[in-house]
Structure 1
């Protein structure tokens, strides 16, 4: 039975076997936003839709049946059992955007559900091994220690960041900067925007030649090298071994070894103190909300009186919930990651004894950053697949597209919080007013 057949999943007779297109219709109100085709030859949805989904194998059906929602869809897409049609390889954003803007899926009546199971066969409900890129569920990670212990954090960072330096270069571009850029104009390039972000952080921290900067979660050392080129002495730390090796090599290649160093280290193991400034970009998402008092207390203890800190991280638009990553994020992208609102972060910064000076939301800039990373990935798709395999490349394409939608729709934000450790008498030694240009 095909799209134009008069019988539907809702009125099919008891003995009628449903096509896969009819099964999809059973879970919608009949107005699908995209074209759907399947390996059994059936189809549904508007014939002139610019984008669509092709269900290519029975395994895809099992993924969708055993993990309804985004996790099942992700498994089927990452494994290649579902294909996005009408889009460039490596850029599912137009498809996800069409699906999320007209979300109309529902749970069908029990009689229709029985017909679905009868048509697909009971075997479709038998769990199938997920793609190898999927991390263990939370309850199985206990072997690596409690949530946000040093070992478990190291394992989570390894899962996300120790993919391939060459792969990240294809996606991130020459700056090798994996945090939100700041676009000085709407038509600025990604590289211009990353340079602007580093300048903004440098200026907000009021750094001068000879100052000491600690960059926590330094990635491939872009901020480390930016500051060192301007005469600042910088220590960067990261829990990703490949990042540390790459960053230290880049430091030596630029002749910055006398000013900069990147260590493969947990931030909690940094013995030095008395820093003039601390930067943390894209790190707070990984440490866990329950660790905020320890984290920002570390900032306070490692700064000299009058020293500044800047925290740059993804947040929720609300503060009243402790939110862990959804299944897709937790299993494929950020194991054990947690997000909260900027208000909660500011509260914890203040509770640590630091004085908040300024905060701003860069949400539109992160949507643009993800757009440009996705453009890089799609433009280098064949090379990316050769480097890490198609499944891993698909994970990242899905992350970039989903993340962009999240920032577009204000489901997530990006906040920078600037603070200072006051002297015992309450003074800070800082200029009056805003000393950086934005």
Structure 2
């Protein structure tokens, strides 16, 4: 069996993919739109040392395995990557093939892999984990995210909406759910590049404070705030949300931060946000969730080591329960799963348009990490492996919620 013949045994013989290897062997469907090329012995060494998704991801990130054709389309062709369920006979044939090509030497993880140290979700470790993903290059993120510089799920009110239009709609939906009006004070935790803060200030006349653990994000946001003439209303600080000293905010938005908090810390997280609000103030939590409790909270090895170190995803019911038990009455909830798939498709298209510049800016390995993770996450939202939920809560004023009888957003 040639090296290319290893892959049909792993993925199945009916996948619409052609496999090629540097030894000249071919397997799979000849002339398929998607091709997988094993370019180096190290590709199979990675797979041999780390069977499953991590080994394949390492081989792709380092360029020892290449995908010809659209990566998202390629991923849709494959079932879950696993060595479980392979018969002993097939396993022995695979081992013989690999051993015959001397592919069993040790291989280390690529340089882009991050394995944080220290107490999980301590402020120091959280800061390093956030820096790994977000302190990459603001120019790189400008190419991927587009003019909105918003790195969270957009809301498409029309199928033909552009990504930037959909990000405006998302920010405005959050603002309207929070009931923002001129003169209010907003705290935005996990503020990123300041999109929500600037929207609240510019569109609603709100005094908005955003905080982020990324120094590059904070500097970019402050510059953008000054350029848009919003410095009297908006501010983004390089600060952990746990160290915000101000209180009595009229509203709190948490857009894409709860995924970094950790299951054990959710009760304290929501209690701390409730303590920042005045009675009658609202909080909107926007985060990625699992579809149900049968999934583990921690993501797969590729996402956890390359993309979001220490990230944890809980079911929407668990997030809502943590809110409900720690200072908030739940008033509204919705799933925007399909919107995140569209958002990721837009980001992926942006990356492809700027591929050569992106590689020059952040290096080929990091660019390939982003290409792979965004395509895989898009598929995850489409297949309901992950969801995106917005949950609106209110800190009661005695027994009064001060909410409209029906949603007015």
Counterpart among 347, 370, 384 of residue 358 in structure 2: 384
CA–CA distance in structure 1, aligned partners of residues 365 and 386 of structure 2: 26
Q: CA RMSD in A?
A: 1.6
Relative to structure 1, the CA distance from residue 178 to residue 29 in structure 2 (aligned partners, 3 Å threshold; closer, same or farther) is closer
Relative to structure 1, the CA distance from residue 106 to residue 19 in structure 2 (aligned partners, 3 Å threshold; closer, same or farther) is farther
Aligned to 1:94: 73
* Matched positions, count: 407
CA–CA distance in structure 2, aligned partners of residues 259 and 107 of structure 1: 59
CA–CA distance in structure 2, aligned partners of residues 57 and 107 of structure 1: 27
CA–CA distance in structure 2, aligned partners of residues 115 and 184 of structure 1: 53
Correspondence 1:23-172 to 2 at 5 A: 23-87=6-70, 92-100=71-79, 108-121=86-99, 123-136=102-115, 141-142=116-117, 145-172=118-145
Aligned to 2:159: 186
Specify every segment of 5 or more residues in structure 1 that has no aligned partner in the other structure, as ranges. Answer: 1-17
Q: Deviations over 1:134-174 (max 9, x none)?
A: 112xxxx34xx211010111111011111100000000000
CA–CA distance in structure 2, aligned partners of residues 371 and 30 of structure 1: 29
Q: Deviations over 1:46-96 (max 9, x none)?
A: 113110100000111100111111111110111011111123xxxx10111
Aligned to 1:176: 149
Provide TM-score, normalisation by structure 2. Answer: 0.96
Contact 2:52/2:83 (CA < 8 Å) preserved in 1?
no
For residue 107 of structure 1, report the CA deviation from its aligned partner: 5.0
Relative to structure 1, the CA distance from residue 170 to residue 31 in structure 2 (aligned partners, 3 Å threshold; closer, same or farther) is same
For residue 330 of structure 1, report the CA deviation from its aligned partner: 0.5
CA–CA distance in structure 1, aligned partners of residues 200 and 58 of structure 2: 41
Relative to structure 1, the CA distance from residue 98 to residue 258 in structure 2 (aligned partners, 3 Å threshold; closer, same or farther) is same
For residue 125 of structure 1, report the CA deviation from its aligned partner: 2.6
Is 1:434 the counterpart of 2:407 in the alignment?
A: yes
Relative to structure 1, the CA distance from residue 127 to residue 203 in structure 2 (aligned partners, 3 Å threshold; closer, same or farther) is same
Counterpart among 225, 240, 250 of residue 251 in structure 1: 225
Specify every segment of 5 or more residues in structure 2 that has no aligned partner in the other structure, as ranges. Answer: none
Provide TM-score, normalisation by structure 1. Answer: 0.90
Larger radius of gyration: 1
| 3-state DSSP of counterpart to 1:261 | strand
Is 1:366 the counterpart of 2:344 in the alignment?
A: no
Contact 1:278/1:299 (CA < 8 Å) preserved in 2?
yes
| 3-state DSSP of counterpart to 2:56 | helix
Contact 2:11/2:79 (CA < 8 Å) preserved in 1?
no
